[in-house]
Amino acid sequence: MKKTYLIGACVAAALVASGAALAADGKAREFVKDSVITTKIKAEMAKEKPSTLVKVSVDTDKTGIVVLSGTAKTQADKDRAETLARGVKGVATVENNIEIKP
């Protein structure tokens, strides 16, 4: 019985944690996913060299704000991910939080 409650609590905590992210200004932002925009951006990234942008995550909120995170090997790769995201219809702004890790 205790195990069931523990599992339920863990699942609930994971769902709550995955629904929020920190914006560049440090304030929490709730993401109501726009999966269409996210999927289009990921499809554009998949067209790139296979290993270039595989460690980049994409989150899109309901207003079209896209947050890129993860790592890239070069500044050019980081910039390319942002350019691809900005080129997708429905994207309002892009916050590029990708870190350079050669």
pLDDT per residue of the chain (102 residues) written in tens, 0 to 9: 444 433 433 333 333 344 444 455 555 555 556 889 999 999 999 888 766 778 999 999 999 999 999 999 999 999 999 999 999 999 999 999 999 998
Where along the chain do its domains lie?
2-100
pLDDT value at residue 75: 94
Q: Which CATH entry fits the domain spanning 2-100: 3.30.1340.30, 3.40.50.1010, 3.90.1480.20, 3.40.640.10?
A: 3.30.1340.30
Alpha helices in 1-102 (DSSP H): 2-18, 35-46, 75-86
Per the CB < 8 A criterion, the answer to whether 93 and 61 are in contact is: no
Neighbours of 19 (CB within 10 A): 13
pLDDT of residue 27: 52
